[in-house]
Amino acid sequence: MTITKTVAKGLEGVIVGDSSICLIDGNEGRLIYRGYDIHDVAANLTFEEVAYLLWYGDLPTRTQLSDLKKRLREERPIPGNLKALIRSLPLSSNTLDVLRTTISALGTGTPLKKPDISDAISITAKIPTINATFDRLRRGKEPMDPRPELGHAANYIYMLTGKEPDSIKTDALNKYFILLADHGMNSSTFTARIVASTWSDMYSAVTAAIGALKGPLHGGAPAPVLQMLKDIGSPDRAEAWMRDELKAGRRLMGFGHRLYRTTDPRAEILREIASTTADKKFFELARQVEETGIRVLQEDKPDRKLYTNVEFYSAVVMDSVGLPTDLFTATFAASRTAGWSANVLEQVANNRLIRPETEYTGPRDRKVVPIDKR
C-alpha cells in the first residue's frame, strides 16, 4: 500500500494531538481556557487562579488557592548560585537570553525526573525574580528580595522598581499575565511539548520554549511594536510609514496571526486596559495606527484578514505600567510559563513521542569521491 504524504509547511492546519487546556476559535475571535471564556477569565480571576486552572483543570477553592499562593511565594527566591550566574552575564545581554540561561541552570544538579506540578510552580514563581534581578543589576542597582505578601503581578513590579505599585498598574499587569498565559499549540508551547515528549524534564522543556518565544514572529514582537509607534510619532504619519514598510518587504509588527481571521480577543481586552493606563495621546496614536494598519493590510493582502494581534496592545500596556521595552518578551515568558508547564504536564500524562517528517527534496544515488579528487 502506498501512503500519500502531503507537505504542511509550518504545520498550518495540522492537528498534532488533543488537549483540554485551551480552545481558540479564530473565525469567531474566541479564546477559552478550560471551558471559560477569556473575557470572563480576565474580568474575574487573578493570575494565580488562572495558573491553577491551567495546571489542574478546575478553578481552585479558597483553600486550594491559598495553598498554591503559599507554594508560589516560597518558590520566588532564587538560589545563590543562580544570582551569581546572573551577575556573571554581560550587562548588555538580551533579557530573554538571560532568562533562558538561568532556567537552564536551575535545572542542573538533579537527576532526570518526569515533569510534575512542583516544577511548574518553581519555574513560574522564579521567572519574575530572574527578570527583575538582571534588570536591576544592569541598571547598577542591587536586586530586591521578593515580597511574600504581594501577588505575582504586584511583586514583579516591586522587584523591578523597589516600590509597591498602585492598584491600577497591578490590575493591568495581572490581566496581562492572565491573557498571555496560554494559547494552544503556538510555537513555544509546541517546542515545550516536543521536548517533554522525549521523556526529558520540565527545565529543558521551558528552556527550549523560551528560545522559541524570542523570535519576532512569535513573542519578540512587542518591543518592535513600541518602536513602530514611536517612529510613527503622530497619527497623520501612520499611513505613509506603514506603506513604506510594506513596500520595503517588511512586516507590520503586532498585526496578523496564524489562527485569527478577526480581532484577537486578547487585543480587545488589552486595548481597553491601555485606554485607562496609557498616556491619553499615546493611546490615541496606538488606536489610529491600529485602524490604519488594518486598512492598509486589507488593501495589501485582501484575502488574508490581518488584524492586530495580542502583541500590539501588550506593548502599550507593558509600557504604561513602566516595564522597560527590552523586558517585554521576558515578561511574556513570566506569564506563558503557566501554559507551557500545563502543556508539558498534559503531554507527559498521555505521551507519544512527537516526531514528524520532511519530504526529502535533495539528491539521491550519489557516490562519495575521495577527498583529493573533489
Q: Looking at the annotation, which residues are catalytic?
A: 257, 311
Per DSSP, helices labelled H in 139-263 are 152-161, 167-179, 187-197, 202-213, 222-232, 238-247
> What are the Cα distances from residue 235, in Å, to 47, 125, 261, 279?
34, 40, 25, 15
Residue number, 175 or 257, with CB nearest to ligand ACO: 257
Nearest to 88 by CA among 138, 159, 131, 124: 138
Residue number, 10 or 109, with CB nearest to ligand ACO: 10
Task: Report the chain's terminal Cα–Cα distance, integer Å.
Answer: 41
| Least distance between ligand ACO and beta carbon 228 (Å) | 10
| Least distance between ligand ACO and beta carbon 193 (Å) | 16
Residue number with the smallest Cβ distance to ligand ACO: 256
| Least distance between ligand ACO and beta carbon 235 (Å) | 19
Binding site for ligand ACO (CB under 6 A): 10, 186, 216-219, 221, 251-258, 297, 301, 304, 306, 309-311
Residue number, 302 or 363, with CB nearest to ligand ACO: 302
Nearest to 266 by CA among 307, 305, 309, 304: 309
| Least distance between ligand ACO and beta carbon 145 (Å) | 31
Quick one: how far is CA 227 from the chain centroid? 19
* String of DSSP letters for 167-203: HHHHHHHHHHHHHTS--SS-HHHHHHHHHHHTT--HH
**Owner of C-alpha cell 505600567:** 321
Neighbours of 369 (CB within 10 A): 8
Residue number, 78 or 253, with CB nearest to ligand ACO: 253
Nearest to 258 by CA among 302, 217, 316: 217
| Least distance between ligand ACO and beta carbon 164 (Å) | 29
Residue number, 120 or 306, with CB nearest to ligand ACO: 306
